[in-house]
Structure 1
Amino acid sequence: MRIDKYLKVSRLVKRRTLAKEVCEHGHVIVNGKVVKPGHEVNVGDELELQLPSGVRRVVIEKIAENVPAKAAAELYREV
């Protein structure tokens, strides 16, 4: 799954367009590398998001196309 879509589905970022912009500005790091919006992510990848609200570090636990808002937090684990 593309990183921009994963950020939206997991509710780490509210909108996919915002997720794309965050990636384009170099604020998303996957496994120690700055990535573009089209980067494919897999289970076990470590994400670092540099957002205005602060830095979040998570590990991808699951990948799903659609999940209810209540289950979105099950897709990742905070580090």
Structure 2
Amino acid sequence: MRLDKFLKVSRLIKRRTLAKEVAAQGRITINGKVAKPGTVVKEGDELAIRFGQKIVTASVDRIQESAKKEDAATMFTIIKEERLAQIDPAFIDDED
């Protein structure tokens, strides 16, 4: 199944157009490799998605063409969620 469709059906990302945009920006990796919207997702793959200052890592448990809201969460397992470090502007040297 295409990455953008999997993200929409599993409800990791609510809209397919948004899933396409996020993937096209290089903010999603599958098994450590940057993925495009049309990249094929298989059971057992590990997805890392960057949402702003947070990275969510999930493993693909099931592939389904469609899923009810209640069943969508069974398509993946969240492995971890981590915040990216914020850069404190006070520590940036401003050399004149």
The higher radius of gyration belongs to 2
Kindly report the root-mean-square deviation, in angstroms, between the aligned alpha carbons of the 2 structures: 0.9
Where in structure 2 are there 5+ consecutive unaligned residues? Answer: 80-96
| Cross-structure match for 1:73 | 73
Quick one: higher RCO (CA 8 Å, sep 6+), 1 or 2? 1
Identity %: 46
Q: How many equivalent residue pairs?
A: 79
**1:1-79 correspondence runs (5 A):** 1-52=1-52, 54-79=54-79
Write the letter of the residue equivalent to 1:27: R
Where in structure 1 are there 5+ consecutive unaligned residues? Answer: none
TM-score normalised by length of structure 1: 0.96
TM-score normalised by length of structure 2: 0.80
Structure 1 residue runs of 4 or more that deviate by more than 6 Å after TM superposition = none
